[in-house]
Copies of this chain bind each other. A is one copy, B any other.
Amino acid sequence: MKHESSIVSPNAKIGKNVKIGHYSVIYDNVIIGDDTVIDGFCEIGYPTRMSNGNPLVIGKNSHIRSHSVFYEGSTFKENLVTGHRVTVREHTHGGVNLQIGTLSDFQGDCEIGNYVRAHSNVHIGKHSKVGNFVWIFPYVVLTNDPHPPSETMLGVTVKDFSVIATMSVILPGITVNEHSLVGSHSLVNKDVPTGMVVVGNPAKILCETHSIKLRNNNQQSAYPWPRHFRREYPDSVIKEWESMFGPKII
């Protein structure tokens, strides 16, 4: 199942039914779970001293799209899906069903929860902590240095079910709390309270998230978003959501 033009180290530990595309390179210190697809032109397990010898672990049933580079020393649970040209550096630890969009750049030394969806061109700085069911939209940057350049690294924390919209920057050490929404093109320099919408440069509280109504049904709140958005989540998750948020609204 590996393309004849791929270059696969004999030391790499590769599961059953793994597909490796044209011209892709799998380095030595790599563990790939069963049923995973690696597209073409990828580099999987790019060597780095900073891995401290830890392998790159890709969970089963994952799909890494073409031209992506994953460094040695990171770990991902099952069902990882990426876009094209993703870069992921050492000591990134991702939960189940993580999606990483085209051109996204994960700088390493970060913890990402389960069912997180990062869209295209998302930049996750070192020491970020991202919870479960978080959405991060294009060109968002999670920063870490309060007075660049320095050796002080204050990572950003983004908690469960939060949403960060396009082109927003979260400043070092900030916490975006549960079920909150950062509007597009915002600069967030204060912690975002649970369930609130912040917008602007610098970002200010606009309203509670549940005061935002769905455009196609103005009787219903758009948040918490799991009440109406369920595409590609497994039944087990939807069942959990129904117990938390009630039945699906239309």
The chain A residues found within 8 Å of chain B, CB to CB, are 5, 7, 22-23, 25, 40-41, 43, 46, 66-67, 69, 83-85, 87, 102-103, 105, 107, 117, 120-121, 123, 135, 137-139, 141, 143, 146-152, 154, 163, 165-167, 169, 171, 184-185, 187, 200-201, 212, 214-216, 222-223, 225, 228-229, 231
Contacts and interface: CB of A to CB of B under 8 A. Distances in A.
Contact of A152 (B85, B138, B215): B215
Contact of A214 (B67, B147, B163, B222): B147
A229 B166 CA distance: 32
Contacts of A107: 120
A185 to B, nearest CB: 4
A148 B165 contact: yes
Contacts of A200: 201
Main secondary structure of the interface of A (DSSP, over half): loop
Contact of A23 (B23, B69, B214, B215): B23
Q: For the complex formed by this chain, how many copies does it contain in all?
A: 3
15 contacts: A22-B23, A40-B43, A41-B41, A41-B43, A46-B66, A69-B84, A85-B87, A117-B149, A139-B167, A150-B214, A150-B222, A151-B231, A167-B167, A169-B184, A201-B201
Nearest to A172: B215
Given A67-B85, A137-B148, A151-B229, 12 more contacts: A40-B43, A46-B66, A69-B84, A83-B87, A103-B103, A105-B138, A117-B149, A147-B214, A150-B228, A152-B214, A185-B187, A200-B201
Contacts of A165: 143, 148
A165 B222 CA distance: 31
B169 A141 contact: no
